[in-house]
Structures are given as C-alpha cells and as structure tokens.
Amino acid sequence: MERPAANDNVNLSAYRPNLPMSVLNGKTSSGGFESDYYQCYGDGSSMTSRPSIALSGYETLDAPPQYDFYANSQAWGRKRRFRPSLYQLHVINFVFLMKLFFIHSCLVVVKILLVCTQIRCMLNIWGVILYLRLPWITAQAGIGMTWVIILLSSTITGITGLSTSAIATNGKVKGGGTYFLISRSLGPELGGSIGLIFAFANAVAVAMHTVGFAETVTDLMREHGAVMVDRTNDIRIIGIITVTALLGISMAGMAWESKAQILFFLVIMVSFASYIVGTIMPASLEKQAKGFFSYNADIFAANFVPDWRGPEGSFFGMFSIFFPSATGILAGANISGDLKNPTVAIPRGTLMAIFWTTFSYLIISATVGSCVVRDASGSLNDTLSPSTPLDACVGLSCQYGWDFTECINNKTCTYGISNYYQSLSMVSAFAPLITAGIFGATLSSALACLVSAPKVFQCLCKDHLYPLIGFFGKGYGKNHEPLRAYLLTYIIAACFIIIAELNAIAPIISNFYLCSYSLINFSCFHASITNSPGWRPSFRFYSKWMSLLCAVICVVIMFLLTWWAALIAIGVVFFLLGYTLYKKPDVNWGSSLQASSYNMALNHCVGLNVVEDHVKNYRPQCLVLTGPPSSRPVLLDLANCFTKDLSLMMCGNVVTVPLEKASSDSHISWLNQRKIKSFYRGVVASDLRCGVNMLLQGAGLGRIKPNVLMIGFKKDWRSESSLAAHNYIEILHDAFDLQYGVCVLRMKEGLDVSRPPQSHGEINQGFDEGQDNINTITPASVSVDLEPQHTTVFQKKQGKKTIDIYWLSDDGGLTLLLPYLLTRRKRWARCKVRVFVGGEADKKDEQKEEVLSLIKKFRLGFQDVEVIPDIYQNPQSEKFLPLHISLSLTSSSLELTLCDLQSLRQIRLNEVLLDYSRDAALIVITMPVGRRDGCPSSLYLAWLDVLSRDLRAPVLMVRGNQESVLTFYCQ
C-alpha cells in the first residue's frame, strides 16, 4: 500500500497497530511492551528497581543483538526475550522517558521527605522569640551573655537531640513522638507523666506563638491608627481568631499542614535575606532616629556587655524567656507516626535543625547588637545641636549626631533594642518582609505545636494509663486524626491566649520543656547503663554520661528559673508516677526499668551469697503447694499474710502428664489480679511426691529460697488408697529431711474451690479433697483459664477475736513467729493473741511467769499466757473409739501399742481445743512429728486428723525445723 505524504492531512494513527489501551496510556500489563523490553535485557526486572538510570536525551528502547531474537525455539528453563517493535521504538519511547522521569522524581521526593523533619524542627525553633525578643534579650544581656544563653540552650537541646536520636533508632518508632520514646524506654510510669506534661507544654506553646503573632498585628494596626478596644484586648481577639484558623488547617489533615509549613519556610528565608541586606545598607535619617547606624565597632563594644533592666533583668530571667525558642527540636519526633522512615529522618533532621538555628541566632544577635543602640527616641528633631556640649549628651548616639539624652534620663525612649520589639523590621531592607517572617515563624510554630500536642496526647490515651482521658484518643479518617484532642488543645491554648503577655507565658513553658528534656536524657542514660542486650541504637554518636549531665543541668536550671514552677512540674510528675505505680497498668514495653530491675535483683541475689545466715534476719519463705493457684485461694491468702512485703512466696504446681504445660501465664495473671506477691513454679513429674521433691530441692535462687512448706490437709485419707496417704506423709518427711519447716492448714469447709475436672484419664489425687473429691494438681487435658476471684476468710477484717497459740513443743520458735507476723497486718491488728502451754497444776504460776519472761525477751508483745495443767490427762473414753476403729482398719495391733500414748495425746488435745478455742479466729498449734520408720503413714495422718477435727476456726499445724528463728540477743 502506498504511504500517504505527511502533508496530505491524513491521520497517521489509522496506520498504527491495535495495541491495548494500557500501552497507549503509558500503563503496562502482562505481556505488554515493557515486560518484553525488560526481557530483552535478560533479568525481567522493572524499572522501579533501576533508579540509578540517569535521564538524558539518548535513552532508547533499542536492545543489543540477542540469540533469542532470531531463534525459533526457546531455551529450556529460561524466559524467552523479544525484540522491541518499530512502534515501540518510534512512538512509545516518550512514554518510557516519562516513566523514567517519574522514577527520578520519586527519588527526589524521598530526599525531600528526609529533609522535611529538619524543616519542621527549624520552623518550630524559629518562632516568636527570634523576631520579637532576641534583640531585646541582646540589649539586656549584651552580645556576650546572649551568646552564652544561646549556646547553653543549644547545648541542652543538642545533647537532648543526640539522646532522642539514640532512642529513636533503637527500634521502630510509631506515633506519639516524645511520649512514645520515653514511655517505651523508661516504662509507663515516667513515660505517662511526661507525656501529659509535654502535651500540655505544646498546647501552651500554641498560645505563646499565637500571642506573638497577635502582638505584631496589633502593633501594625496601632501604627496605622486602627484600634479595636485596647492593646491587650486586641491581642486577645486577634489571638483567638488566629488559633481558630490554625485549628481548621490542622483538622484538615497533615497534607494541608505540610503545605502551609513549606510556605512559611520560604517566607522566613526571604525575611532573613531582607534583614541581612538591611544591616549593610546605609542608615536613613528615620532609621537613625530609631537607633540604627549600620555596622560600627563602638556600638558592638557598648552592646557586648549586659545592661539589666526591669524585673526580668537577670541572666536566668533572659534565659527563661529565650529557652522556648530552642525547644522545637522534638517537632519532627512528635509526628513520628507520619514519617516514612523515622529512624533516619529524626536524627538527621533534628541535629541539622539545631545547628542551623543556633547559627542563625548567633548571627542575628551579633548583627543587631552591632548596628542598633539600646535607646533612641525615634524623633527626627533629636539631632545633636552644634551648641550642645558633648559632655552634656548621654549615650553612644552622640558620636553620630543624635541627642537622645532626654528620653534616656526620663526612661521614655520608645526605640532602640532595649525598648522596641520590632527592631528587626526597622533594620530590614524591606520591613514588610520581616513582618511576613514574623507571621511565618509564629504561625508555623503555633501550627507545629497544635499538631504535636494532639498526636502525643492521642498515643497516651490509647495506652489507657490514666482514667477519664480515653475519650480524646479516638481517631477519625484513614489517618486516625485525633480531632477530639485537637479541640482540647485548642481550648487550653485559648485559655492562655487570654493572658495576652508573651513574657509571662514563655517562662511557664520553659519549666515543662526542661522537665521533658531531663527525662529524655535520663531515658538514654538509663537504657545505656543497664547494659540490656535489647539496647542497640543504630545512632552511635551519643554519650550516656553527657546525657546524665544534661538531665541534671535541666533540673538545676528549672529551679534557677522559677523554683515554685519547678516544684509544681516535679510534683505533677511524681503524682502521676505514684498513680501509675499504684494502678500497675497491664503493659509490657521492654523498658530500661525492667532491665535495671533485673540487674539489681541479680546483683543483690549474688551479693547474698557472701552473707551468712543469722537468726535475726530469718524470714519465713513459703513454698505453698496450691496446684493451680486459683484452686486454693484460702491457702494463698494465709501465706500472703506471712510473706507480703516481707519474704518469698512461691506457688507450687505438680503436673503428672508430660504433655501438659507446667507453667501458664494465666496463673501469674490470676495472682496479679488478686494482688498477691508470689512466684509461680510448675513442674512435670511422674507422681505427686516426686514433683514436690523437685520443688523442695530446686525452687529459689541462691539464698532466696523457700524454708517453709505450706500444704493443705488431706481430709479424704480414709477413702483414698494407702499409697496416696503414704505419699502425702512422705512429702512431710521429705520436707523435714531437707530442713524445711512445715505448716498444714485445715478448714472446716475445705480449701479447694476449683471447678470439678473433666474426665480425661487418670490423674493423681491431691490434698484437702472435700465432698467434691477435687484434685489439687493440674489434670492433663484441662486448659487453665483465668479463674474467678473467690473471697476467703483471711481477706476479711478479723475484729476483736483471738489468735490462739498452742506452744506445746519447742520447734525453734516458728509456732510463735507466724502469729506475730499476722498481728502486723491491719486486718489482724485488733485480734488478741493467747498462748497456751502445758504444765503442772502445782507449778502453774511459776511456769506462766517463765513463759511470759521468755516471750518478753523475744519482744513479741504477747501478754496473755495460760498454763493448761490437765493437757496430759487421758481423753474421754467415747472420743477414743472412732480413732481406734479407723486405725484398726489401716494398722496392726503392734503399731497401735507402740504409739498408743501419742494417739491418746492427740485426742486429748482436740478436747482442749474444743473447750478453749471454740470462737477463735485462728488456731496455731505445734504439729506432732512421726518417726519415718516407727510411725505408719496412716497412723500419722490419724493423729493430724483427730487433732484438728470438729473445729470451726481454721487450724494451722506448725512445725519448725528445730533451729531457732527467734532470739533475744542483739547480735
């Protein structure tokens, strides 16, 4: 077919091949030209993986010669390559170049995003103080002391920036900014308190920057004769209107806020250029009348030294006003949830922002102090008259032909850097640009703080550390914008805008920011000093000792600025800290406090190895055989009365089937919910006795190990097999062999409150099984859920009942020590302790005085001692029959004969207990000891059974290991 000429107005697109719309639109699909093109290069990769390809006018889709272009078959195992078509080379090359341009643009945008953190920090640092107070601070402190103030502030923020960078690069940073960094490093206790303070400080900072903006607008209005009410109320009105507009921008989303920040940054840069040009330009008469004489060595020398004026005229007074201008370093960290790569952006942006803003502050303070005198009248009529003697003219301006003597002497000068807050505008080449810069700096800082505060507060609300604030944590939209928190920040800012005085708001913020910075530095130091393997920040340029020094300096400066404000800030921190410690939120963030707790616990445990045991330091450290802790709460509650805040308590659980897990988080959760300070230890063993033996020998760490075994009484010993009864008694014998004290608790209503287990095979029977025949060790196939919290008698106040101690045999004093520890608890404090001992009728008074004297030497405070002379009499005959019958079923006549006297004694003791302790709150009695080889297990169980039978009060049978746990010596 003949090809039409180009000038025949023929549409050449009619000759194009029919290609998919995805290709014509520049999109690719499977089998399209792009995949073919990349196949011709052999790797099949997309251009997005080739960002190194540079854009040039020589890019082409042409491919070098390839075997596949000419072959009719495809090599096995390799994708075939195809030669690009003429249409692809001739027409769609433009599409390809556009894609390359898009890739290159994306790389540029990524680089810009890395710098966005720096811009945000710089905008937040460049605020109202830079334009409206830095010249005034230079006049007060002089150039030299102003540089000291700037460098001290920058040192604090610089070290804090290093600490922040270290924390931010020790793992993925989510939303919440400063609060997230501190809370995940130091834990919820300090993190939560500083999160609230920092969010509040940012909300107040919104007010400070807004007041600076409103102050500038008000001054401009007054210069043009426009006044709404008066200066103070005008600032309030303009401030409220401004913060409302900023709220609208913030709630519109981060995209609008970011665009506004870029615009503000450009405006500030232009204003800086206008100011620098203005310092070089020759001074006009109007500017000279206001104190500007361009660069001059004499002005620099005069302004180099301080000239303190007014109530704020001191170094720390100026520092408190200037310091908020250096506090924007966390603006990037506070939007960590919106950053693409916070671990890179936060360190780079924060540190670069500190450097450049510090440099700008130093330059501006030096230049304005070299160009403008402290006092000027602003009147063109105040030129120096030829007839005026030079010695009558006051001030440096006399050298330049101006006489400001009158206003200097009367202190009525309205211009000069000591009096005129708009000095930078006056110096500038074009004053409206400085005004625009003030607007940009104040509004950008206010906007950044208005965004930061809700983000921090939202993260805090979501952690549920404090009540009544969760309402403000709700997010809206795909970015979960905290609209409610925005409104709260707006209300706080509006309240402080009502103050309408910049110099009054700035010191309030300084203390809160210093408190925040102190904790950030302490977080870095604490995380470093604990040597936790989890502390691995990718940012290495920090020093833990510098962080600690900076933390101390921040606290010292807080008190030097305003001691009462420092006390309030620290008081708020400690109040919130105490609340969090009391509530113990269920969070686990792997904080450095956890690592520190481990280090201290480990060091103290190891340190105890070199300390010999002493009777004065004896503590009953209880191994409580509970099975699942929730199954025997009464046993736990009694043991907790002995050990809480005093000594070790460990719950033991024996699992007899290897497939069942011996440890479970649900048990620990149940203990924490019950507020019982105890460890949990589960073991897997072939039988109950073997498992308990493992616990007796292996529980504990170093000298922090159990020395008292607490166990429930086995009520069903008659109905159980002889092997079960034998194993129970052998557990007691094993404890005695290992030098344990033993406590056996019997309750009339039983101990076990667990649900009946499902039938899943044979399980070992436990202790204290009542009518429900419930086991005490975890069955094989029953999952342990978080059980309900049952209220027991040992959780209630006991009132004016009695604790009856039957000190019948000397076991080392454990029978006396345990009741004494009970009386130290509030719920037992009103109970009267009675001590019963056996004796003879004719020596009753002597024996009573002897026991009283001994107890007095022990300093136990027990005053009521009673000697029971008939304790060794024979029991009533009818009471012996049930015991005799039960023993005859399990024991031989020989065994009954050998232990007959001991059996009679237990029966008589039960009669005494029923007579004397019927209404007691608790009965503590010395437990008899049966010889391992001389007393059958069934007989020993019968003794314990008859001794504690038919008593309404709980009975605790106690036997120490025959070593003293009480002493009346001081060493």
pLDDT of 266 reads 87
Range of 344-358, 506-520, 732-746 with top mean pLDDT: 732-746
Among the ranges given (274-283, 689-698, 849-858, 930-939), the one the predictor scored with the smallest mean pLDDT = 930-939
Average pLDDT in the chain: 79
Both tokens assigned to 867: 């000697």
Strands of the 922-926 sheet, one edge to the other: 679-684, 649-655, 622-625, 708-712, 741-746, 955-959, 922-926, 802-806, 832-838, 864-868
Percentage of the chain beyond pLDDT 90 is 22
Res 256: pLDDT = 65
* Widest Cα–Cα separation across the chain: 146
Q: What pLDDT does 74 receive?
A: 62
Could you give the 3-state DSSP secondary structure of residue 744?
strand
pLDDT at 602: 83
d(CA 677, CA 668): 10
Domains of the chain plus CATH, in order, are 111-376+413-583 (1.20.1740.10), 622-746 (3.40.50), 801-887+894-953 (3.40.50)
Residues of the chain with pLDDT > 70, as a percent, come to: 78
Would you state the pLDDT for residue 257?
63
More confident residue, 937 or 767: 937
Interacting residues of 506 by C-beta distance below 8 A, sequence separation 6+: 129, 133, 208, 320, 321, 323, 324
Res. 92: pLDDT tops 80: no
Q: Indicate the SS3 state at residue 379.
A: coil
pLDDT(624) > 90: yes
Is the distance from CB of 124 to CB of 333 less than 8 angstroms? no
From 707, 640, 714, 711, select the one nearest 679 (Cα to Cα). Answer: 640
Could you tell me the two tokens for 473? 């944590």
Amino acid at 762: E
Looking at residue 108, its pLDDT comes to 47
pLDDT at 818: 93
Q: What is the pLDDT of residues 222-255, one digit of tens each?
A: 888 888 888 889 999 999 999 999 888 887 766 6
Q: What is the mean pLDDT of residues 556-567?
A: 86
Which residue type occupies 185?
S
Which of these ranges, 434-443, 451-460, 756-765, has the smallest mean pLDDT?
A: 756-765
pLDDT band at 169; cut points 50, 70, 90: confident
Q: Which two tokens stand for residue 877?
A: 């005959």
**Mean pLDDT along residues 376-396:** 79
pLDDT over 50 (residue 866): yes
Record the tokens describing residue 919, joined without a space.
């209404």
pLDDT digits (tens, 9 = 90+) for 395-422: 888 888 888 888 888 888 889 999 888 8
Mean pLDDT, range 63-75, rounded to an integer: 64
Q: Is the pLDDT of residue 699 over 80?
A: yes
| Distance (Å, whole) CA 364 – CA 354 | 15
**Which of 118, 450, 429, 119 lies closest to 263 in space, CA to CA?**
119
Which residues sit opposite 922 in a β-bridge?
A: 803
Choice among 323-337, 464-478, 573-587, 950-964 with the minimum mean pLDDT: 323-337
Distance of CA 969 to the CA centre of its chain: 47
pLDDT at 608: 83
Q: Characterize the bridge pairing of strands 955-959 and 741-746.
A: antiparallel
Q: To which residue do tokens 């699909």 refer?
A: 29
Reply yes or no on whether the pLDDT at 777 is more than 80: no
How many C-beta atoms surround the C-beta of residue 632 within 10 A? 32
3-state class of 624 per DSSP? Answer: strand
Residue 392 has pLDDT above 60, yes or no: yes
Are 653 and 681 a contacting pair, CB within 8 Å? yes
Q: How many CB atoms lie within 10 A of CB 134?
A: 27
Q: Which long-range contacts (CB under 8 A, 24 or more apart) does 660-666 make?
A: 660/684, 660/778, 660/779, 660/780, 660/781, 662/778, 664/784, 666/784, 666/785, 666/786
Q: What is the DSSP secondary structure assignment for residue 862, as one 8-state letter?
A: -
The pLDDT of 899-917, averaged and rounded, is 85
pLDDT at residue 537, rounded to an integer: 85
Least confident of 147-156, 601-610, 699-708, 880-889: 880-889
C-alpha distances out from residue 144 to 140, 152, 306, 419, Å: 11, 12, 8, 19
H or E segment to which residue 865 belongs: strand 864-868
Q: In the predicted model, what is the mean pLDDT of residues 727-747?
A: 93
Residue 26 binned pLDDT confidence (cut-offs 50, 70, 90): very low
Query: What tens digit of pLDDT does each residue of 97-138 get?
Result: 455 454 454 444 444 444 456 777 787 788 778 888 899 999
The SS3 call for residue 704 is strand
Token pair of 912 as six digits = 């005494």
Of 501 and 756, which is predicted with more confidence?
A: 501
Paired tokens of 227? 């006044």
Three-state DSSP string of 42-68: CCCCCHHHCCCCCCCCCCCCCCCCCHH
Mutual angle of helices 297-304 and 134-168, in 10-degree steps: 70
For residue 39, the model assigns a pLDDT of: 37
**Confidence label for 54 from pLDDT (cuts 50, 70 and 90):** very low
Looking at residue 613, its pLDDT comes to: 81
Residue-wise pLDDT tens digits, 30-50: 333 333 333 333 333 333 333
Cα 502–chain centre separation: 33
- Indicate the length of the chain as a whole number: 971
Q: What is the pLDDT of residues 416-440, one digit of tens each?
A: 999 888 889 899 998 889 888 888 8
Backbone φ, ψ for residue 838 (5° rounding): -80, 150
Distance CA 100, CA 90 (A): 17
What are all long-range contacts of 238-241, with beta carbons under 8 Å and residues at least 24 apart?
Answer: 238/213, 238/214, 239/207, 239/210, 239/211, 239/213, 239/214, 239/497, 239/500, 240/494, 240/497
Give the pLDDT score at 87. Answer: 56
Examine the pLDDT at 453 and tell me if it is beyond 90: no
pLDDT on residue 770: 42
Q: Which pLDDT does position 56 carry in this prediction?
A: 42
